[in-house]
Amino acid sequence: ISVSSAKKIQYSTLLALDRFLSNESGVTVAHVLVTAHAILAPNFNEGAKREALSGKNSNTFGRHLRSDLFEMVDDMARKGFDVQPIFDHEDGQCIGMVKLNDVAGLMSDDSYILRPGATVSDLKNHNLILPPPPQIDASSDLSIAGGILKHGIEAIIVKFDPENWSRGESELDVIKETLMPGYHIMTSHDIIAYRLNQ
C-alpha cells in the first residue's frame, strides 16, 4: 500500500479553473470599488475620484504611526468604520491595521485616557496594531474578496496598478476615471453597496 498526502487546492485556484473552463469572468474588485464609491462618497463629503491610500494625508482611510490618534478614532466612530489600515509614512506600504472594537475595549474604563498629542504609535504599546489585511489585485474577481471577507477578515487591501491590469481595456478606461492608482481598502460595506445597487 502506498501512502500519499492529499494536497489542498486553494479556493482561488478552483475559481480560476472554473472561470477558465466556463470562459466566463465575474465582476472585478475594481468595478465594485468604483460603483460603491459613487454610492458612498456623498455620505463622507468625498469627491468623484477615489484617492489611493498612503497614510500621508488626513483622508478617512489610511493613517500612519505619526497620525493623530484622537482624530483617527473620532473619524472611525463618527463615520462608522470598523478598521483602519496603518501605512508606513516613508514607502506607503500597509504595515498594520487597527480595529475600533479593540480601541473601544482599551477606552472602556479609566485605565487609558486618550490625551491630546497621542499618536497612532501609542497603540503599539497596547498591542492594538494588528498585522496588515490581505492584499489582492484590483483585477481579481469579486468572489475572491468575498471568500476572504466571509472568513472573519474585516478588510482587504486592493492594489490598483493600471500597467498590470489583466482584464479588458474598456473596463480599465472606465475604472481609471474614478480609481486612482495605488492602494485602496475594501470592506463588506463596498460589496453590500454594490449588490444593493444592482
Say if residues 84 and 72 touch (Cβ distance below 8 Å). yes
- pLDDT, the chain, mean: 84
Predicted confidence at residue 85, as pLDDT, reads 92
Q: How confident is the model over 118-157, as pLDDT tens digits?
A: 999 999 888 999 999 999 999 999 989 998 998 888 899 9
pLDDT at 41: 85
Q: Parallel, antiparallel, or unpaired for β 63-64 and 83-87?
A: parallel
More confident residue, 4 or 31: 31
Q: Is the pLDDT of residue 7 over 80?
A: no
Secondary structure element (H or E) that encloses residue 146, with its range:
helix 142-149
23-71 pLDDT per residue, tens: 456 899 999 999 999 998 888 778 888 888 865 655 567 898 999 999 9
The Cα 185–Cα 62 span in angstroms is 9
Q: Element (H or E) spanning 160, and its range?
A: strand 156-160
With beta carbons less than 8 A apart as the criterion, state whether 115 and 122 touch: no
What pLDDT, on the 0 to 100 scale, is given for residue 33?
A: 95
CB atoms within 10 A of CB 146: 16
- How big is the CA angle at 35 (ends 34 and 36), to the nearest 5 degrees? 95
> Phi and psi for 195 in degrees, rounded to 5?
-65, -40
Neighbour tally for 14: CB within 10 Å: 10
